[in-house]
Structure 1
């Protein structure tokens, strides 16, 4: 008796019995098979009813309908789902148009088009909207033609029916029942989708909370670990400097120079980690900043950096008032960009230079850092802001510098872009939303040379 249960009328419903996700995936396929099986049975019953009434035309039409719908059922069950939908709805619309035009208008066969509208609305997948709206529109147009006119496919050829009232009631109840079934199916489907969305939203919210907590803990760990490592590293650097000052053995001194370089690399990496953690943990701290003085201070910080004395630094700051911005983050941004400009400069060039421009316009502070250094290969340009990205195997940095720059600029709700010609130089342009302070500054347009 299980074969009589609609849930067993499709192999997909049987194969995914107990699997809600599988049934949800094939819900329209299962619905089509269930409808096709139901339509086949109804067609056969109608044919038998009309034979009992002594009719010939009606049983032939009903039997044709049953066979055609069953063929669509077989196509659907064999995996040709889209084809089965198109064939079924095309057949139903054409068949019932012909059937209704030949049969007595009082039978109410045209009412089945309400059911076909519902079928078209629910049976097609989301990416098949063209077919959905096409068949809905087709059913509506054909219904209007049948209801509002006396159109007949074969002219004035009609076939009589027995007991019009009984047949009308049967057709009315059948069409409404099928339509209600599709409406219930759509409501259930929407409810399932809504519940799924609510469940996913709740799951995403939980995951985001856990992720935010993990990120905060990781940032705190980075920040704490970096500070804890700074003290022993300073001791190591102090011991190395003492050994370099007191030792006269050139071979031993060479080893200590290597240690000094490695210790400095580690120190720079810890500073990058601290900058990253600070940027992640702290909010914006706006204060009035003299951009010209800040740029000069940043440049002076590189006074004892290797090869910095061979580069001419130029500044062109055009800000008549103090700028309300995050001073610490701005220093971090300029430090990293200028550090890269020094590190990857072509010192063999004549007159190597780094230029820093700044101006305030339309509630935005714009900073442009340009150089005539090595430049960046066009293939590498899209990757330079990635975490731990290094342009070459010879790069000695942590690979965090420009990543921190981008993160810091975004934290300040700004934008950063880069232009570079390999072998010619690089230009970094960043814009940061800012407001003017009421305190003016004295314009000092000049060139600063280290």
Structure 2
């Protein structure tokens, strides 16, 4: 049960969500662009920034390192003055360590500016293995010395500076790709990063770094080539829209038989999602201002989905969409190939009346890291099944929003506990729900 009323949302379900909402910058980009500002002893300005907890955490982490951060929440503008950078007090950084996994990305910028970095224990959502080994191995290859003996975290130094290297990622990890980019842009010589992730948020980070003076090219085979430069300058940049939040509201429209216009949503980053949305039977209309998503009133159709790295179907899209698939007429299959424990969120859906079975087998054709390992990473959803409201505990960011969608689609009342987790990635989601006509308290 939630410890206080601010962490609990009472939902009276069964009402279509109808109306218009605004989605701003991508959570998975904005925080990384803020870290990139550390690289230059200059002022950077980032626009289209959402009011989410991750932005507040990174702002506080930057301030602990001597950086001036001004956040204009109404305008969505963050101004970062990184002229003065210093090592933060270990105890101060540790107070924020459980709130985000962002601190590990401070390593490269701090090594360039100060010659050393301290990384506390990391937080984040419990959705499966997200080891930092890729990060640390990348830093070692670039010349950093990593000391794991500290009880409170990891001490990293670069007594001879960082230098270019050949790096291959065995899996296109988003975090490790970002780590390499942030560390290699000022490393001496050239760095070749193969097997990299190429998500739109990463390409937007590359655009920021190029504005700062970096030299980065990308080949069609997922290889980045970075030529180190000695100096970088501040940037002015407008963030791309959060495609995960946009897709979450689209799924909410489908699950509640609603009609939602998502201002700011853009087509290029969402093409794979839009194809699946249409196959299920959802309707959408793309305009210059955003994308309208709605349930046409017909029966929804089952689909088979396999999550994958970009340009595949994004893993963060599948959880809210699974709720909508409980209302599709027939058997849907979701094969998760990115995170091995992403289906923990389905248990409350089953308790609400959904028919979902989990399997250890790969129910798909994509090469999968979890084959013949004891992870239930395939789901079979049979619908349509009516959902009934109940008490729900939010497990993680995306699963939590999915539970919220289920509560909105269900008949009767639900109490959703731990909703503050959703604040990490969904700006003013309570206000947006009210704007869409949801009955919440």
TM-score normalised over the length of structure 2: 0.20
More helix by share: 1
Structure showing greater Rg = 1
TM-score, normalised to structure 1, is: 0.20
Report the structure, 1 or 2, having the larger strand content: 2
